[in-house]
Amino acid sequence: MAIESRKPPSQFVLRLQRALGGRAGWGGFVVQLLFVAVLAWIAYEIVANARANLQAQRITAGFGFLQNTAGFDVSQSLIPYTGSDTYTRVFLVGLINTLLVSVIGIFFATVIGFIVALGRLSPNWLLSRISGGYVELVRNLPLLFQILFWYLAVLAALPSPRQSISVFGMFFLNNRGLVIPSPIGNPGFEPFVVAVLIAIVAALALWRYARRQLHQHGNMLTIWPYVLGLLIGLPLVTALIFGAPVTFEMPVLRGFNFAGGSRLIPEFVALTLALATYTAAFIAEIVRAGILSVHKGQMEAGSSLGLHRGEVLRLIVIPQALRVILPPLTNQYLNLTKNSSLAVAIGYPDLVSVFAGTTLSQTGQAIEIIGITMGVYLLISLVTSAIMSFYGWRISRSMG
């Protein structure tokens, strides 16, 4: 990289630095200490005053409410939950639902984003125009509108449970969601899981061995038949010895809805779809920018080595583009997570809906609940950033 001579900072900046105690020794230190002290004092005054006035108005304060019984039900919960559980449990249910929609949304947004970006850069005229049209259409419509579109226009148009679209009499699609047979563990379940794990570990070891052979000795080994044999054969043999690991409980129409089986609720599907497709449009542009930022010569060099287009992209261009892509990609991941709070519009029981919504109005403890909710979103965002930074650090290290 060319070394550019940097301009010295302007007089104003220097003076500002001095005033703020930037590099001016003890004086600066004292000013900074005073500043922090004033901030701490203001924060203390706010908290103390709020507490005194809450007490004066006899508004219940504190976190004791978390131990109280919630007394309401939630439509989707990955952990066991009933109305007689506590608000703490409600908080966990909401948090897990938020994380679920975020993680799945991020996964699909990334996949769709990369595909659209590659499509837009493709020499195929039609493909690149379709991809471009997708980006322009989706990123220019408000997200809330898209969520409502998927929920009210697409999913609500499905037939009622009694007229469900049935696939093989096992899967049922209706306006209450997608009902699928749910697996129930048998005694043979645990050996089966162990067998699958062993097979995966063995396959990974084999793959590493093959890669070392390729890199160090230039031997291209054909390992896929062995991997396949391991992954299918070992669990199959276990199942034959210990019996079938699971049996499936079939959904049956009973009364208004299907009983038995598992169900993907339309609120979840609409929210995930909207978040994934919306964010994918932004990711596509970020990826495209990242790929275009890699010098054309890299691609030409790759081609002249005899690699074809896919290999050039996968082995040469994308690893370099990732450096440019990662920071704005992290932003999009954070946006998606925060946008998931729009769930409240379509009744998906996320953290904002069940905790900052129902729980808040039942207990009236706005300050505590909004405080906890903000803290949780902050924490989720910081953890996401940390993971992405770590990933970025590993990439830049591996590229030297």
Partner 1 sequence: MKRVSLVLTLALAAGLSAQAASAQTLKTVKERGMLSCGVSQGLPGFSSPDDKGNWTGLDVDVCRAISAAIFGDGTKVKFVPLSAKDRFTALQSGEIDVLSRNTTWTLSRDTSLGANFTGVTYYDGQGFLVKKSLKVNSALELNSASVCVQTGTTTEQNLADYFKGNNMKYEVIAFASADETVKAYESGRCDVFTSDVSQLYAERLKLANPADHVVLPEVISKEPLGPMVRHGDDQWFDIVKWTLFAMVDAEELGVTQKNVDEMAKSDKPELKRAFGTDGNLGEQLGLTKDWFARIVKAVGNYGEAFDRNVGAGSKLGIARGLNNLWNKGGIQYAPPIR
Per-residue contact flags (x/-) with partner 1 for residues 259 to 298, judged by CB under 8 A: x------xx-------------------------------
Which of 165, 168, 167 has the alpha carbon at shortest distance from 176?
165
CA atoms within 13 A on the CB side of 144: 5
For partner 1, the closer CB: 228 or 367: 367
State the nearest-atom distance from the C-beta of 83 to partner 1, in Å. 4
Dihedral over Cα of 193, 199, 201, 204: its sign: negative
For partner 1, the closer CB: 57 or 140: 57
CA distances from 274 to 98, 153, 318 (A): 14, 12, 27
For partner 1, the closer CB: 59 or 184: 59
> What is the Cα–Cα distance from 164 to 258, expressed in whole angstroms?
10
- The single residue among 9, 20, 38, 60 that binds partner 1, judged by CB under 8 A, is 60
* Size of residue set near partner 1 by CB under 8 A: 50
For partner 1, the closer CB: 73 or 300: 73
State the nearest-atom distance from the C-beta of 132 to partner 1, in Å. 33
- In one-letter notation, the amino acid at residue 246 is V
Find the part of the chain contacting partner 1 (CB under 8 A) among 49-57, 133-141, 178-186, 192-200. Answer: 49-57
3-state secondary structure 212-246: HHHHHHCCCCCCHHHHHHHHHHHHHHHHHHHCCCE
- 198: CB partners within 8 A, 6+ apart: 234
Find the part of the chain contacting partner 1 (CB under 8 A) among 47-55, 165-173, 183-191, 206-214. Answer: 47-55
Restricted to residues 116-175, the positions that interact with partner 1 (CB under 8 A) are 152, 156, 160, 175
Per-residue contact flags (x/-) with partner 1 for residues 67 to 96, judged by CB under 8 A: ----xxxxx-------x-------------
CA distances from 191 to 229, 234, 241, 396 (A): 18, 11, 10, 41
Find the part of the chain contacting partner 1 (CB under 8 A) among 215-223, 252-260, 313-321, 382-390. Answer: 252-260
CB-based contacts of 367-370 (< 8 A; 24+ apart in sequence): 367/50, 367/54, 367/61, 368/61, 368/62, 368/63, 368/65
Q: Is 58 in the site for partner 1 (CB under 8 A)?
A: yes
Supply the DSSP string of 285-304, one letter for each residue: HHHHHHHHHS-HHHHHHHHH
Q: Is 335 in the site for partner 1 (CB under 8 A)?
A: no
Restricted to residues 7-46, the positions that interact with partner 1 (CB under 8 A) are 45-46
Find the part of the chain contacting partner 1 (CB under 8 A) among 118-126, 288-296, 317-325, 350-358. Answer: 350-358
Specify the DSSP element, H or E, that contains 159: none
Find the part of the chain contacting partner 1 (CB under 8 A) among 50-58, 165-173, 199-207, 286-294. Answer: 50-58
Residue 163 backbone phi and psi in degrees, to 5? -110, 30
Residue ranges binding partner 1 (CB under 8 A): 45-47, 49-50, 53-54, 56-60, 71-75, 83, 152, 156, 160, 175-176, 254-257, 259, 266-267, 341, 344-347, 349, 352-354, 356-358, 360-364, 366-367, 370
